Each structure stands twice: as C-alpha cells, then as structure tokens.
Homo-oligomer: A and B are copies of this chain.
Amino acid sequence: MNAEIIAVGTELLLGQIANTNGAYLAQKLAEIGVNVYYQTVVGDNPERLEKVLNVAEKRSDLVLTIGGLGPTEDDLTKQIVARHLGESLVTDQPAKDKIDTYAATTKRNLTANNLKQALKIDHAISLTNHNGFAVGDLYVNEDGPSYVLLPGPPAECLMMIDRELIPQLKKRGHSNHVFISRVLRFIGIGESKLVTDLADLIDHQTNPTIAPYAKMAEVTLRVTAAAQDEQRANELIEQTVDKILKRDGQYFYGYGDDNSLTQVVINQLIDRKLSVTAAESLTAGEFQSTIGSVPGVSAVFPGGFVTYANEAKHQLLEIPNDVIDTQGVVSKATAIWMAKQAKAKMQTDIAVSFTGVAGPDELEGQPAGTVWIGIAYRDQEPEAFLFHFTNGRQQVRARSVMTGLDLIRQRLAAE
C-alpha cells in the first residue's frame, strides 16, 4: 500500500521548525511495510490544503495528515478533510469527558474552542491522544484512499503513532506481514569497513534487510525481518545477527535506537562497581559531562580534573614539569602521566586522560585533530594511544570522548 504524509502548519512551511513528526511517521510506517512515496508540507490555509488533498487522493492509498487539530482558529485540518469526504464532525465522548474533567479539576471555564478538539470525523475510528486533548482519526475508506489525522505537537503526535495508529494499521491488515527491526550499534569501525566486511550479507539478503547508518564516531545496522508472525521474524533476525557478530563482534557494543556507548559503559561500571575519573585537557570536561548525563553515575564517578593549561596539569595532577618540557604536552608520556595521576589522586579503579590539539590552530607543531588518549585501568600498566580526528574543533573533542569510552569498553570486554 502506498502512503503519503501531509504536514499542515505555516511554521513548518516557513522553516521555523523542521518536520520531525513526518520523519518519525515515515520510519514507523516503513517498519510495518507501508511505503511512503510522498511527503508534503502546506500552511494553515484551507484552499491550499484542499488542493493538496486532491493531488494526494489520486496517487495514494493512505493519506496521513499531521497538525491542525488544535483549539485555535488556524486549526482546520479536521474540518477540511471532513468536508472533502462529505462527512460531518461529531463529538467523541471519551475525548469530551477528558476535557470536562480537566476543566472541573482546574476550575476553568470551557470555551467552544476547547471542545473543538473533541470532534471527530463521522464514521472514523478515534485515535486517543495520550498527551493532549485533540483526538485523532482513522477513516477507513473502501472506495478511495483511507485518511489518518494526527496532532502536530511532537509529544502528542509520536505517542499517538506508537500507541494508536500503528496497532490499528496492523490490526486492520494494512500490513501483510509483521515487520520487526533490531538496531545493532558499533564503535571503533568505520561505515565503509563494516559494509565491506558484510558486503555479501547486505547485498544478497532481502529478508532480513540490513541497513547501515553512520553517526558521529559510530555506525548502526538496522536489521529488519518480515514474517507471518513475530516469532518467525525474530528467528530470522537472530540468524542474521549471529552472522554479523561472528565477523565484527569486537566492535559491537549494544542494541537499540535509544542506546548509547555512554549508557552501556557507565551501566557496566555501575554493575561491576568499578569507579572512574578523568583528566581532560582539550576536551575541557566534555568526557566527565558526558558520563554525568547517565542517571546513577554518582555511584562510580567521584569527580575529576579539567587541566587545560600546563600549569594546571602540574598543579592539580603534579605532573613533573620536565615531562611536559621534554616530551611536549601533546605526547604519550603526558597522557600516561595524566591518567596515572588522576587515578591515584581520586583513588578510582579507572582513569582516562585526553591531551591534544582541538584546533583550529596547531600546537607544538602538531596539527589540529592530533589527540593522545591515556587509560589507567585497574592494576594494568597505564597506556596511551594516538588518534588523528578531523572535521573541526567540536568533532575532534566529541570523537575523543567517544574513543575514551571505547577504551574502557574494550578493557571491560577483555576481562
């Protein structure tokens, strides 16, 4: 079945906000095998929306609108689609009850505008709004395309897609198969290397499909299987994942769209009760700030050092002046001293250190992007590794942080 998404809103059209709802909806429809062939954005303008509906119904089996269900005068999507279908609008009792309850609880007087949000297209299936008041619609049409109306605020839209729309479409057989995806996350390997390693799998396998995607310092693979039921789809995924991990398992760190290397590493440290600190020069606290984003990190992270200037490395970490003087601040020796001293001073199990050239200017004759990352891991001899990162100051710093986390991950995996 061919679907088309129409996002309604002048603020989208003028570029004040990006159409992230549309991207999310397209992704979710693809996962259940519904092909989106067109996406259109149109302003809050009745005539132009009507024109867009006329174009859409000639080429699509399912037309999904986003936006224009709210209480203001601009919000006209439901009125226009209903007129287009020759249907009237009727009150959705559960949606009206919810608005009434809210008004009673907060002692507000309701206006006609508020109740507008409880209207649905006659003969449509209501889609409950779990994060707001405007009810959504699924209008199943035997003679022409079916219509779906979703609210514009992302929190409302995304929740309605996940909890209402996708289950309804699955139930109503708008998808012949169950589609299941699993995302595998890799660090320390480039997209081109990973794709080359898996070329035969990617090229010859049509079910499951394997879709690579490169992000900052990491690569993900989305493995998607179609089958008659969930169990069979999961089996197909398992078989493919096994083949992938047999080849590149050493770079694999976790599953899931919402996962991150930071979460995986910190949660492993929490599980194993291993504490961590850092001494940061070019990253200026970004490693510590990143691990600080994980709830519960306080169990394993007492704090650490931002030693941007050489004097700070000497004063806070007591790195002998002659190490920096003779070896340079961007050097293996300095990185190792920084990690070793940070670990000793904070009495942690692990310390990582970062010294290098964030750029844009070079330092000590070394070009921007030259980074030494040190690691003192438990009772192992402290080590340091040289990296050359590109793409500007912020990327150099961010990739340094990810690589520091990966050094910890590798050592945890080796134990």
Nearest to A7 among chain B residues (CB) is B39
Contacts of A360 on B, CB cut-off 8 Å? 295
Contacts of A283 on B, CB cut-off 8 Å? 289, 292
Given A13-B39, A38-B48, A316-B292 contact (CB < 8 Å): no
Q: Are A18 and B15 in contact (CB under 8 A)?
A: no
Contact of A25 among B15, B25, B302 (CB under 8 A): B15
CB of A188 within 8 A of chain B?
Answer: no
CA distance A278 to B312 in the complex (A): 13
CA distance A360 to B281 in the complex (A): 30
Nearest CB of B to A154, in Å: 11
Q: Are A305 and B302 in contact (CB under 8 A)?
A: no
Nearest to A48 among chain B residues (CB) is B37
CB of A165 within 8 A of chain B?
Answer: no
Nearest CB of B to A131, in Å: 13
CA distance A136 to B33 in the complex (A): 35
Contacts of A38 on B, CB cut-off 8 Å? 13, 40-42, 48, 52
A-side residues, CB < 8 A to B, are 12-20, 22-28, 30, 36-43, 45, 48, 51-52, 55, 59, 213, 278, 280-289, 291-293, 295, 297-298, 301-309, 311-313, 315-316, 345-346, 358-361, 393-394, 397
Question: Can you name 11 A-B pairs with beta carbons within 8 Å?
Answer: A17-B23, A37-B43, A38-B52, A39-B40, A284-B301, A293-B394, A293-B397, A295-B359, A298-B308, A302-B309, A316-B316
